[in-house]
Amino acid sequence: MSAGDPRCEVVTTRGGARAMLDRKTGEVMHPVVGPSIESARLYCEPARLSARLSAPVSGARAEPLVLLDVGLGAGSNASAAWRLSEALPASARRLEIVSFDHSLDAFALAARPEHAADFGLDGAAGLAARALLAAGHHETARSRWRLVHGELPAALDLEAAAAADVAFWDPFSPRANPDLWTLAAFTALRRCCRAGATVHTYSGATATRSALLLAGFAVGMGESTGKNKTATCAAVDLRDLARPLDRRWIERLGRSSAAFPPDAPADALAQVASLPQFHAARPEVEGSCLSSRRQL
């Protein structure tokens, strides 16, 4: 990419959806079914976001539900969550979105009038996106959206500890963004998460799951992302996972040639194998990655 060339480009996927290509990395955001479907299927729906916002507000629930949107990209995941919150009644819990990215090129391009509808940034969501680009924040009676423009995972260290309820982890792949798939990155995320928090990512890689486990999360199977591939759902509390990884996964872990992130400790396999979730007699069940306990 030569000087002066735009970093991002809107392209059409094989399935006919419009998506964002990052020309520096060569990677397409939401490459299979497009941003609107993937944002719902892999992030908002598995997180039970609507149910969690709609639950009766009292005690700790009187505080906003805090969503960490790691990898703002073209804004599709965050805008899907924002629009969901805006559609709920005034009695629902407020949503606070904190979006992280080191580049706003994709978001700015997606917010242009000719592309906005393809990325969920038309109408009121577009006004919110433009305010975010101009001022770094936007607030309504239902939602607050804040931008953190900087390098990750260091930016997570500046956020309050034990304040987040949900995290959407959607940066580029380990090839393009190796620092965001390490034990250090997920440890920084774990510090931000309070009791009951859940994490959702498109990656089903063994090293991603082992990094989350070593960072202190319980980890389970997420939604299907293709033939024999699934996303990942993690939680602070094992009881919030409907399909936690089990002893069979540990057996596969021991045979994997790419089992751990590069900063894993030497005894990583022993540490993971000793975790409580691998000694609980709990079969996998079909359906959402979150248990019925997390539906409200």
Residue boundaries of the structural domains of the chain: 35-278
Per DSSP, the three-state class of 162 is: coil
- Measured between alpha carbons, how far is 252 from 246 in angstroms, rounded to an integer? 10
Residue 9, C-beta contacts closer than 8 angstroms, at least 6 positions apart: 20, 21, 23, 109
Averaged pLDDT of the chain: 91
CATH code 3.30.750.200 for 35-278: no
- Inform me whether the pLDDT recorded for 125 exceeds 70: yes
Between residues 29 and 116, which one has the greater pLDDT? 116
- Tokens for 193? 């998460």
| 271-288: pLDDT as tens digits | 999 999 998 755 444 456
| 202-228: pLDDT as tens digits | 999 999 999 999 999 999 999 988 777
Residue 216, C-beta contacts closer than 8 angstroms, at least 6 positions apart: 187, 190, 236
- Inform me whether the pLDDT recorded for 3 exceeds 50: no
| 59-84: pLDDT as tens digits | 555 789 999 999 999 999 999 999 99
pLDDT score, position 211: 98
Mean pLDDT of 151-158: 93
Mean pLDDT of 122-150: 96
Closest CA to 170 of 156, 180, 160: 180
- Inform me whether the pLDDT recorded for 182 exceeds 80: yes
Report residue 144's pLDDT band, with 50, 70 and 90 as the boundaries. Answer: very high
This model's pTM is above 0.85: yes
pLDDT score, position 285: 47
First to last CA, the chain: 47
Q: Are the C-beta atoms of residues 64 and 52 closer than 8 Å to each other?
A: no
Residue 132, C-beta contacts closer than 8 angstroms, at least 6 positions apart: 99, 107, 138, 145, 147
- Inform me whether the pLDDT recorded for 4 exceeds 50: no
Query: How large a percentage of the chain has pLDDT more than 70?
Result: 92
Q: Are the C-beta atoms of residues 88 and 189 closer than 8 Å to each other?
A: no
Q: Are the C-beta atoms of residues 83 and 120 closer than 8 Å to each other?
A: yes
Residue 53, C-beta contacts closer than 8 angstroms, at least 6 positions apart: 65, 84, 85, 88, 92, 93, 95
Closest CA to 270 of 289, 244, 250: 250
pLDDT score, position 292: 63
